[in-house]
């Protein structure tokens, strides 16, 4: 009888928790009431009494607040975990590897029940990851794969090669590259790729080159600097300043007498840097290049609307957070999370079971449907 009563009580508490669950929109603000998750499926097991996080703490180590996406990722995850009753310790390392190591060391010392890590440098955390494993703390890799460790249980991310494929396919279609040779057209292009210590950046470059290499080979695309390999085009820590500097150098050197037609950038931050360089070099609407990006940050979407950026890759951080939360629940409660890839993400020690969300290209033609109708941004935010 006593047991039955405690089960009933537990169920009532869970229902109450779910009913008043706090959820986030994409401004990092917390809304009370209904979840607007833009069509993201909700299978985090939040209605299951055994999967609540009461009395458990999750440590979240995020790379930086210098780019909007990570602020949203952290806020979304914190809100979703707190809605399930978890305590959350959320820390940002401001792209400082050592700072991230000590933040995670502290979380291990605190004996959190699970760690969620989006690494500054994906291979630099092996020692602290081993400490976590020795202490029995499971680790989920968030968005960036954790390399060279056996301490990681699951990986929640987007199809990172698919991001590159989507960027490249956009360029092919927008410039009609398939017919360019026959039409006697060619376009100049430069590449601004991601950080060499981020596995995502390597995959993204592979995805781009798989599509664009034939056009570089045939001369339909002309890269005047000759810098097309990952080693030649990667930018440490995804630095906007470096991208701007490179773009300024290219424009005043290789492109002093000829326009740059395509800025193939792997990140919205790079697109902002290149925009500044292009404006400083006197580019106008008449010769403004096609500029790609990634993350569909608020500023990027505003730039897409005003024509200063052509496209970005929409990665719904609410959905990613939701998938990660299912993994946290699984490692803490001994259940199975949803996995859709068990072959791709080899971190040099093991192939990490992953859930990969689908990246989508966004431009002036579809941002309203994708982002406003999908509840990611409001029309007011984009108009400000």
Name every residue whose Cβ is closer than 8 Å to that of residue 229 and which is 6 or more positions away in sequence.
none
Q: Which is nearer to ligand BGC, 56 or 144 (CB)?
A: 144
Assess 144 for contact with ligand BGC (CB under 6 A): yes
Assess 238 for contact with ligand BGC (CB under 6 A): yes
Least Å from the CB of residue 295 to ligand BGC: 5
Q: Which is nearer to ligand BGC, 40 or 204 (CB)?
A: 204
Closest CA to 154 of 339, 322, 359, 317: 339
Assess 267 for contact with ligand BGC (CB under 6 A): yes
Q: Which is nearer to ligand BGC, 246 or 267 (CB)?
A: 267
Distance CA(137)–CA(350), nearest Å, equals 18
**Structure tokens that stand for 218 in this block:** 């045939």
Assess 69 for contact with ligand BGC (CB under 6 A): yes
In a 3-state reduction of DSSP, which class is residue 252?
helix
Least Å from the CB of residue 242 to ligand BGC: 13
Q: 149: which DSSP letter? A: -
Assess 344 for contact with ligand BGC (CB under 6 A): no
Least Å from the CB of residue 266 to ligand BGC: 7
Assess 143 for contact with ligand BGC (CB under 6 A): yes
Burial 212-233 (b: 16+ CB within 10 A, else e): beebeeeebbebebebbebeeb
Choosing from 200, 239, 292, 326, the residue that interacts with ligand BGC (CB under 6 A) is 200
Candidates 132-140, 192-200, 206-214, 247-255 — which segment interacts with ligand BGC by CB under 6 A?
A: 192-200
Assess 56 for contact with ligand BGC (CB under 6 A): no
Orientation of helix 68-83 relative to helix 317-333, angle to 10°: 40
Choosing from 198, 261, 316, 322, the residue that interacts with ligand BGC (CB under 6 A) is 198
């Amino acid at each position: 009888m006593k047991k039955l009563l405690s089960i009933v009580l537990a169920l009532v508490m869970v229902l109450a928790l779910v009913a008043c669950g706090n959820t986030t929109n994409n401004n990092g603000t917390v809304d009370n009431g209904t979840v607007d998750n833009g069509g993201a499926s909700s299978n985090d097991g939040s209605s299951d009494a055994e999967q609540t996080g009461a009395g458990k703490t999750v440590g979240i180590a995020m790379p930086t607040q210098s780019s909007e996406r990570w602020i949203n990722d952290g806020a979304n995850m914190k809100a979703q975990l707190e809605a399930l009753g978890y305590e959350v310790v959320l820390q940002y390392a401001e792209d400082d590897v050592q700072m991230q190591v000590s933040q995670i060391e502290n979380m291990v010392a605190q004996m959190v029940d699970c760690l969620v890590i989006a690494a500054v440098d994906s291979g630099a955390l092996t020692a602290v990851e081993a400490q976590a494993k020795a202490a029995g703390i499971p680790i989920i890799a968030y968005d960036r794969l954790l390399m060279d460790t056996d301490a990681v249980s699951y990986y929640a991310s987007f199809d990172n090669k698919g991001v590159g494929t989507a960027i490249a396919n956009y360029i092919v279609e927008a410039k009609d590259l398939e017919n360019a040779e026959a039409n006697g057209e060619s376009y100049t292009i430069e590449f601004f790729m991601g950080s060499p210590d981020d596995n995502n950046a390597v995959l993204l470059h592979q995805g781009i080159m798989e599509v664009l290499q034939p056009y570089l080979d045939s001369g339909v695309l002309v890269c005047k600097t000759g810098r097309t390999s990952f080693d030649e085009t990667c930018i440490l820590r995804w630095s906007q300043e470096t991208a701007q500097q490179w773009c300024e150098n290219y424009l005043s050197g290789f492109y002093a007498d000829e326009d740059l037609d395509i800025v193939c950038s792997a990140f919205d931050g790079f697109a902002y840097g290149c925009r500044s360089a292009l404006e400083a070099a006197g580019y106008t609407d008449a010769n403004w290049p096609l500029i790609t990006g990634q993350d569909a940050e608020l500023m990027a979407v505003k730039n897409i609307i005003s024509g200063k950026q052509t496209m970005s890759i929409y990665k719904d951080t609410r959905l990613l957070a939701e998938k990660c939360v299912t993994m946290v629940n699984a490692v803490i409660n001994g259940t199975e999370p949803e996995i859709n890839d068990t072959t791709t993400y080899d971190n040099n020690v093991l192939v990490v079971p992953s859930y990969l969300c689908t990246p989508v290209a966004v431009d002036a033609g579809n941002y309203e449907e994708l982002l406003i109708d999908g509840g990611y941004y409001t029309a007011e935010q984009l108009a400000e």
